[in-house]
Amino acid sequence: MPDTTRENGDSILLGRMDLTENLTLKNRVVMAPLTRCMADDDLVPTELMAAYYARRADAGLIVSEATIIRPDGQGYPNTPGIFNAAQVAGWRRVTDRVHGGGGVMFLQLWHVGRVSHPVFLGGESPVAPSAVALGGRMPRSDLPYGAPRALDIDEIPALVAAYSAAAANAMSAGFDGVEIHGANGYLIDQFLHRHTNRRTDGYGGSIEGMVRFALEVVDGVVDRVGRDRVGIRLSPGAYFNMEPHSDDPAVFGRLLGGLDDRRLAYVHLGIFDDGMTFDYLGGTAGAFLRRHYKGTLVGCGSYTPDRAARAIADGAFDLVAIGRPFIANADLIAKIERGEPLVGYDESMLKRLD
Ligand SMILES: Cc1cc2nc3c(=O)[nH]c(=O)nc-3n(C[C@H](O)[C@H](O)[C@H](O)COP(=O)(O)O)c2cc1C
């Protein structure tokens, strides 16, 4: 008997799809955002980065590595920015190369909030919803994370405006859209979880207050670039830089309802392994998103191409993002097409950008 599962699976994964009315993708494989810390010392993307992304232009959609929206959003060395003209010009080189290869690319908009350190901030403290320090030490430098400073309510409009200015810069740099990084315990996620948001003003407290910052950022970005050019990544399961709280499902349920009304390009799950279950979410984070969000959903988290195809066939997701295997296999799509085995990922691959 021929193995039709594999053929059917591959055709679902590799077939074209209309992401929005204006954007057709050549397949349902997303290259997940992957921080590589290889921008130059002015946080400008390099030629090497352009070549690295161009080699992966046959992904249906590339989401760039997380890119900082203003200087105090940085938490790791040599992560690219999108807040000045040199960075926009650097990214333009990347998008030109990706488009030259027939690719589609969104930029991921990032502010790390409390996941930073005064070494990146000219000696200042990181900003966050509340002064709740992250335990542990920073990767590479081994410095302990310090207590962040709670944002004053008067500072929030400028922060929201920095996201929309960065989104406008991304469009000037030739991106096809932007993905708001609301996942993985960074700034927006810090507003969404009670563990890190102890505010009692309009940006915390009630469920409405807990989602206000995220929705203001979405609305600000949509105003500048249009709803069909905007995705958002979320981690309803607290698994990284964050502790869970029994209110999390109510907060994320409310947020996802608000996002449904806004008809964005997509919502993207942020997690490392979507096999993980969360009691308070009633199962996996991916299934929680599907139950609460009606629009286009991008899955992620330890998916092989076969499992990704099955998840799409089962209706769990509309697209699936693949991260580490895309670092190990620049020719991932060609390998899926040919049914060839993939090279396994290992961390030593992070030292090179090939
Ligand atoms: C080296 C590395 C860098 C990452 N950088 C980002 C990032 O910049 N933004 C983000 O949202 N997720 C980031 N992630 C998470 C991935 O996007 C993805 O969710 C995770 O690797 C699970 O998918 P995978 O099992 O297919 O690798 C990173 C993961 C790795 C391994």
* Euclidean distance between CA atoms 293 and 289, whole angstroms: 6
Q: How far apart are CA 286 and CA 64, in angstroms?
A: 21
**Distance of CA 34 from the midpoint of ligand 1 (Å):** 5
Q: For residue 160, report the distance from its CA to the centre of ligand 1, in Å.
A: 24
Q: Which of 186, 239, 266, 303 is catalytic?
A: 186
Of ligand 1's atoms, which has the minimum distance to the CA of residue 300?
A: 23
Query: Is the distance from the beta carbon of residue 290 to the nearest atom of ligand 1 less than 6 Å?
Result: no
Q: Does the CB atom of residue 241 touch ligand 1 within 6 A?
A: no
- List pLDDT tens digits, range 40-50: 999 999 999 99
Answer whether 39's CB lies under 8 Å from 79's CB.
yes
- Reported as a single tens digit per residue, the pLDDT across 151-180 is 999 999 999 999 999 999 999 999 999 999
Each residue's pLDDT tens digit, 169-216: 999 999 999 999 999 999 999 999 999 999 999 999 999 999 999 999
Reply yes or no on whether the pLDDT at 73 is more than 50. yes
Q: Is residue 1 scored above 60 in pLDDT?
A: no
Give the domain CATH number at 213.
3.20.20.70
Give the pLDDT band (50/70/90) at residue 16: very high
Amino acid at 327: I
Q: Which residue reads 């990181």 in tokens? A: 126
148: pLDDT strictly greater than 50: yes
What is the number of domains present in the chain?
A: 1
Residue 239 has pLDDT above 90, yes or no: no
- The closest residue, in CA terms, to atom 29 on ligand 1 is 34
Is the CB of residue 108 below 6 angstroms from any atom belonging to ligand 1?
Answer: yes
Position 139 confidence tier, pLDDT thresholds 50, 70, 90? confident
Asked about 186 being catalytic, the answer comes back as yes
Helix ranges (DSSP H) in the chain: 4-14, 47-54, 85-100, 156-172, 187-192, 207-225, 248-262, 285-292, 305-313, 324-328, 332-338
Task: For ligand 1, say whether the CB of 231 is within 6 Å of any of its atoms.
Answer: no
Full residue range of the structural domain in which residue 158 is found: 4-351
Which residue's CA lies nearest to atom 30 of ligand 1? 34
User: Is the pLDDT at 113 greater than 60, yes or no?
Assistant: yes
Instruction: Check residues 275 and 11 and name the one with the higher pLDDT.
Output: 275
Residues 6+ apart with CB under 8 A from 147: 125, 131, 132, 133
Tokens of 38: 């290889």
User: Which tens digit of pLDDT belongs to each residue from 291-323?
Assistant: 999 999 999 999 999 999 999 999 999 999 999
* Nearest atom within ligand 1 for CA of residue 79: 8
62 Cα–ligand 1 center, Å:
13
Residue 60 near residue 105 (C-beta atoms within 8 A): no
The residue among 5 and 325 whose pLDDT is bigger is: 325
- Ligand 1 within 6 A of 350 CB? yes
The Å distance, Cα 249 to ligand 1 centre, comes to 23
